[in-house]
Structure 1
Amino acid sequence: MPIDIVTVPCLSDNYAYLVSDGNTTYLVDAPEAAPIAGALDERGWSLDTILITHHHHDHVGGVADLVERYGCTVTGPRSEQSKLPPIATGWVDGDTGGTGELEFRVIEVPGHTLGHVAFHFDKAGAVFTADSLMALGCGRVFEGTPEMMWHSLSKLMALPPETMVYSGHEYTAANARFALSVDPDNAALHARARDIEAARQAGEPTAQVPLSLELETNPFLRAGDPAMKETLGMAGASDAEVFAEIRGRKDRF
């Protein structure tokens, strides 16, 4: 059966995602319950399982209300279990879940938090990255190290380039302004920034994009590119060192 992926805006700039074949429905992150319940009811879907990416409140705040309403199962990263709402399954790297077209693989992507995970639905051509890889950016390195975050991003970069990346926040316009400050000669980035501006003026989300576009325009993924190193005056530096420099500049931007 075909897979539907529904983007649900939550809070001021969060996204939750419904992934469904019409019979079984997963939710990736639960910032708040009301808009998620509205999207489910609009389609006549129930909710089977919540997949939590990490423990921050703006990704779990709606869990309790959704469990009460739908009786759904809650899962999340095992290493963050003590910080999460009660979970039935604790995921570790390489775990798999779901069946058929809804089968997914868990990818540990620490850095933003130490236990952050992403969910890769290979048959649906989608990866849900929350606050690890973000559209034209990446999450702040709150609990890990730049080296850890670079390793996490490198795992996501190795996915098929046609994979759609669904990230957790509508930060893309601000991320584009920063990206242009460190990669000013990237023609694809300039074109993307114009597209983002037009989309946001039309009220359209921009945090859902092909990995191929991220590889071409996201400066955090270009830390290993000799041209990026040359632009930053870091031709002899390691990829992780260049990533740390870009992340530091973004933190101060």
Structure 2
Amino acid sequence: MSKKWLIGIILAMFAVVLVACSDSAEETEENNDTETEEEAAEEGSEESAEEQATPQPDLEDVPDVVAEVNGEEITKEEFTEVYEIQFDRAVQQGQITIDSDQENFKTQLAESLIAQELIKQAVNDSEVSVSDEELEESFVELAQSNGLETKEDFLTAVEGQGMTEEEATEQVKLQVKVDKFVAEEAGDLEPTEEELVETYEELKKEHEESENEQELPGYEEAKTIIADQLRKENEARAYQNIVETLREEADVTINL
């Protein structure tokens, strides 16, 4: 499997960010100011046509209960909320066009929500717990990963998106439980030194074959990034394996 995506991550982590000169920005602003009313009207017409051609989520045929998982319902309201977010993201990434059939996308999302419900039920049935210290650490990590400094900054941000502090806390606590549950079920997810070296050698070979002029960092510099990505791959595989096992033993009905 090609690891060009991982090469890109490593190079990006060590790349020098170049900022465009302010003169160029000023020149662009002046050009915009000289745009005629006729050009603006034409642009507005083009934008209107583009909006009409933008795919819209089709949710008319979605039933009130999308699926049932061991007696727990996944409602149309829950499905719609997630569907609209994922749909917009898929449109932006070019995965959905005006001619796309949305039925397959709906089925995939339903399966994803079923997987989440299965994991949630398994976690709630387990003895996994979360300490106050672990919860605080998770809030700090979330804040920093979103470019914020403190837990309070993060809570203010999510409240601006319509989520209360209590709801955010419950969501974070559940995610910490899920992470601990998956780790306990899967065992050690840390990549070995041998795996790290092997992956780096593969990256080095692919990078040389690509004739990319940017120099790949040495092993010690790239090691942390590679370890993080391999750990995420291991976690994803473990999660999928657990979901498949739970699904085999579960009573699941999809109404789409």
Bin the TM-score by the shorter chain. Answer: under 0.3
Higher relative contact order (Cα pairs below 8 Å, separated by 6+ residues): 2
Given the two structures, how large is their TM-score scaled by the length of structure 1?
0.23
More strand by share: 1
Given the two structures, how large is their TM-score scaled by the length of structure 2?
0.23
Which has the larger Rg?
2
